[in-house]
Amino acid sequence: MAAEGQRVDIARALRDAGVTALIAFGLFLPLIGFQTVTDIRNDLILTTRWPLLFAITAIVGAGRLAYSFGFEPWLNQRALRPVQAAPSAWRSFVGKWFVPFAIGFVIVYPVIVIALNGFGGSVKWIDNFGIQILIYVMLGWGLNIVVGLAGLLDLGYVAFYAVGAYSYALLAKTFGFSFWILLPMAGTLASFWGILLGFPVLRLRGDYLAIVTLAFGEIIRIVIINWVDLTGGYAGISGIPRPTFFGIPFNANEDGFAAVFGLEFSPLYRTVFLYYLILALALLTAFVTVRLRRLPVGRAWEALREDEIACRSLGINTTNTKLTAFAMGAMFAGFAGSFFAARQGFISPESFTFLESATILSIVVLGGMGSQIGVAIAAIVMIGGTEIMRELDFLKQIFGPTFDPTQYRMLLFGFAMVLIMIWRPRGLIATRAPSVFLKERKSISVDLVKEGHG
Amino acid sequence: MEVFLQQLINGITLGSIYGLIAIGYTMVFGIIGMVNFAHGDVFMVSAFIALIAFLILTSWLGITSIALALFIVLIVAMLFTSLVNWVIERLAYRPLRGSFRLAPLISAIGMSIFLSNFVQVAQGPRNKSTPPMVQGEFVIFTQNDYAVTLSFKQLIIWGVTAVLLACFWYLVAKTRLGRAQRACEQDQKMAALVGVDVDRTISMTFVIAAALAAVAGTMYLMYYGVVSFSDGFVPGVKAFTAAVLGGIGSLPGAVIGGLLIGLIETMWSAYFSIDYKDVAAFSVLAITLIFLPQGLFGRPDVEKV
């Protein structure tokens, strides 16, 4: 594959491969070469896995060799390629029609799934893929307001998601309010917490802000765990009322959804309803964000991200600007949280760990901060990718029946985060559409957009 | 009084472990300005390496002298953990140097998720407990039937931490590498112009950070006798808290911050509520950052237009 005029130095490639294999051997020797096992007497003993260790070493060495022969020449050649000034016709076509097509697709998605799989097999595809991904799209868009627009790095976003979920669960169980009353209430409560937690950290910037928000997220989780009287601690809250179709419950009773509309009962109706509900909520988030960017407050957010000092000297109240960003982001997390509680019917602190915050933040950054399409694509890739790992049963035929692909979900998730960052440090979508423009609307390179420092 | 003294001893022990991890955070932040989120998991990996080395030495090679075994375990854990961190820096952080600020942070979070799940897959999700490695204690004094004790393992932790901190201080203050490190911390471009190999210096920073984390990991394993794949996160965050409390970028600050966090945690557990000990540590972090953003020994951050 080496290009003409570029010869691959075979000796160097072999040496590199050897060194890499040697390093890999050392790297994996303790943790792959040996395994700690608890034996029958409950003592810890060691077993060895030399074949696996040598296989991994060989794969790494071969991979390095393939890199020298295939990938590196290709990269070098690509670097020499002239930069195209104007995007190709295909690209601008895709750019123009992508959003309407994508929205159309997600609207008809349940219909397509049901047409392909029938009623029985569809719940999994709509619930695990559709709803799960859309929750993260919505959370990503919510956090995008804080991180992408206002440039405030928030690592404790899941706290507001938890506030929304617990608000819905507790109020619905205690007072019997309906989902539609509690949805705005959960959002309001979450945004109140956003302001409350945002207030003390106004002076902090960058990584410090990230760490304090992380601490707040953890504090809220620990309080939820330990305040057993209110929240049930680790056991969580179960039997949370499920949302109804404007008062008609989704059950097999006579006043249930299926009976009222003269249909045969199927759990699928609730799933489809929940799918459209989260779709509507996610699109609301996107729509509100798009509109807010044109209002003074949205412009102030982006100005804050670009330069806080200039902002202040132009008379923008940075305190209010930051607090509104926190409150807005928290509100959408609250909506998503109450939807989550209503969908699951059960919540526990397990669902609100730091890993969730990290996942949401990584979706925002991997997609390209500030780009809503990018965030949606990143959510599909990361969440859909890890969900699809559950479906790879055919791998058992290759690696033997003890092979469990679901074990490797988070392993590959972490690995993918590193790889995407190295491949595209500024996220998957490399252009932004500024909300303010002179004469004609055009997209700009992401390198011109600052990442904020507060 | 007895309880206080006993908690003081426990707190210093815990604080020594936090301090050793905190140095890794503060050094890396000082030199490349990133929060190395994976550092807590590097610490966890080192505890696993120490566990495996200990099992090899005692059950396969039949070494009966615990002192010799611990010494070898310490060296082995430091070597392999350094290799791990060196590779991590090379693969996950170096390509992102000079890129925008959030990219290495996300890469580090990804690495942290990767490491803990790798250990889970490779070694199994269950807690790994070892029989007690070191037993015995000094009784300092007894009052009202309450014996204030200093166990041998606590003494070992104090001793090892003190010796390693001395070596480390010498390395940073007196050697060529330490000078290069301090130069890179102040101005990487200028350091490169005067002939400092910046890439190599940064790599060595990660190696030293990992070696100290490995000491902490070995001590942790010896002290608690149990380790699991998820044990990296909480000590990691607390050590980071310690680094921030001491003033990030300041090496004595990291050690003193570690000791303070260890003391706050044990005192809080003894006098208030053990359930909320993590809340105490995190609240200290939030309060420090809000009222004293540069920490106890840090340089104030001057913003220029």
- Considering the domain architecture, whether residues A440 and A351 belong to the same structural domain is answered as yes
Most confident by average pLDDT, A32-41, A421-430, B129-138, B196-205: B196-205
Question: Domain count of chain A?
Answer: 2
Q: Are A436 and A299 in contact (CB under 8 A)?
A: yes
Given the DSSP bridges, would you call strands A44-48 and A237-238 parallel, antiparallel or unpaired? Answer: unpaired
**B65 — contact with chain A (CB < 8 Å)?**
no
Last residue of a domain, one of A43, A77, A111: A77
A23-44: per-residue pLDDT in tens? Answer: 999 989 888 888 888 877 777 8
Nearest Cβ partner for B119 among A31, A212, A226: A31
| Percent of chain A residues past pLDDT 90, beyond the cut | 29
Please tell me the predicted confidence (pLDDT) of residue A1. 43
Q: What is the pLDDT of residue B79?
A: 95
pLDDT of residue B198: 92
pLDDT of B41: 95
If asked whether residues A280 and A334 sit together in one domain, one would say yes
Residue A320 has pLDDT above 80, yes or no: yes
Q: Is A231 among the domain residues? A: yes
Same domain, A151 and A22: no
Average pLDDT, chain A: 85
Indicate whether A224 and A278 sit together in one domain: yes
Q: What is the ipTM of this complex?
A: 0.88
* Average pLDDT of the residues in A287-291: 92
Contact A414 B110 (CB under 8 A): yes
Residue B249 vs residue A101, higher pLDDT: A101
Least confident of A383-392, B100-109, B178-187: A383-392
Q: Is the pLDDT of residue B214 over 90?
A: yes
Comparing A58 with A403, which gets the higher pLDDT? A58
Angle, CA A136 vertex, CA A134 and CA A137 arms, to 5°: 60
pLDDT tens readout for residues A203-248: 777 777 888 888 888 889 989 998 888 888 888 898 888 887 777 7
The token duo for A67 is 């890199």
| Least CB–CB distance from A211: residue in B59, B92, B240 | B240
- pLDDT tens-digit series, residues A177-188: 888 889 999 999
pLDDT-derived band at A190 (thresholds 50, 70, 90) equals: very high
- Structural domain includes residue A2: no
> Which of A55-69, A259-273, A321-335, A409-423 is predicted least confidently?
A259-273
- For residue A181, give its domain range: 97-448
Please compute the mean of the pLDDT values over residues B175-185 and round it to a whole number: 90
Mean pLDDT, residues A264-286 taken together: 88
Q: Which of B52, B92, B110 sits opposite A30 (nearest CB)?
A: B52
Chain A residue numbers touching B106 (CB-CB < 8 A): 361-362, 365-366, 417, 421
Which 8-state DSSP code applies to residue A86? S
Is A384 a member of any domain? yes
pLDDT of residue A3: 46
Indicate yes or no: CB of B106 within 8 angstroms of CB of A365.
Answer: yes
Most confidently modeled range among A16-20, A123-127, A264-268, A277-281: A277-281
Write down the pLDDT at residue A368: 84
Q: Which helix (H) or strand (E) holds B146?
A: strand B146-151
* Average pLDDT for chain B: 88
Q: Please report whether residue A85 resides in a domain.
A: no
Domain check: are A56 and A157 in the same one?
no
Residues A207 and A263 in one domain: yes
H or E element, residue A22: helix A10-28
Residue A196 lies in a domain: yes
**Same domain as A68, residue A202:** no
The residue among A34, A49, A77 that closes a domain is A77
CB-based contact, A26 to chain B, within 8 Å: yes
A288 and A328 assigned to the same domain: yes
Amino acid in position A135: I
Residues A48 and A193 in one domain: no
Are A31 and B59 a contacting pair at CB < 8 A?
no
| Number of C-beta neighbours around residue A202 at 10 A | 16
In a domain, A399, yes or no: yes
